[in-house]
Copies of this chain bind each other. A is one copy, B any other.
Amino acid sequence: MSVNGPTLHRAVVEHLVRQVVYQRLGKPLPKPAGAPHPLMVNVSARHCHLTQEAVEILFGKGSQLTVHKWLYQEGQFAAKETLTLIGPRSRVISNLRILGPCRNLNQVELAYTDGIALGFDLPLRLSGNIKGTLGCMLMGPAGFFEMPEGVIRALRHVHMSPEDAEFYGVKGGDEMKLKIGGPCGLVLDKMLVRMDKSFKLEVHIDTDEGNACNLQPETSCELTK
């Protein structure tokens, strides 16, 4: 079978199939199936965002990030390039993934477990709000780059479009809850809504949160006000 055009994400296909099946059976749609888009919950492992300037210092003049894997949000990718992070107590994290494309700030997002291992007291910050946070040293194959600030534990958040926000009855800046099922399920409070026309509906949680509830691809997740 040949596939023309861009491939749809599996979650989108499942969501469409679910809607059609309910329709064919003549049954009313349960609330999640009636949503304009499927809910994706993805675990973000520790990673960093870099400026083009930092990329060139770390990987050499003229270097560009290259795509290792496309992420769910349009145009975002995990880069092939990785770094070594050196913390203030000379402890190290190797193979720190870089997410592309380049941004206009340098930021490292760690889980509290990483922070404890490094001896960092991580501040909980909305991505981009790094003023007054601790920095670190980054080491790449072509050199060192000192970040004076920008090491954070990112605030839990959900990306959504205005259409999704309308469905859930929320607006940008609101807080929601994410209920994760399974034998060690939990409810994450204070999930910040980040709304933009370009966003696909997706929750980002970190590895501590994902492992606290053993989140698996088949685990049920429900987003509520």
Contact = CB atoms under 8 A, between A and B. Distances in A.
Interface string A198-219: 0000000011110110100000
A113 B208 contact: yes
Nearest to A154: B184
Contacts of A155: 183-184
A177 to B, nearest CB: 8
B184 A186 contact: no
Contacts of A214: 112, 124, 153
A111 interface: yes
Nearest to A181: B189
A113 B183 CA distance: 17
A25 to B, nearest CB: 31
A116 B212 CA distance: 12
22 contacts: A111-B211, A112-B211, A124-B183, A124-B184, A124-B214, A153-B214, A155-B183, A155-B184, A183-B190, A185-B189, A185-B190, A186-B187, A186-B188, A186-B209, A186-B212, A187-B189, A188-B212, A206-B212, A208-B211, A209-B212, A211-B212, A212-B212
Given A113-B208, A208-B208, 18 more contacts: A111-B211, A112-B214, A116-B211, A124-B183, A124-B214, A153-B184, A153-B214, A155-B184, A183-B190, A184-B189, A185-B189, A186-B209, A187-B189, A206-B212, A208-B211, A208-B212, A211-B212, A212-B212
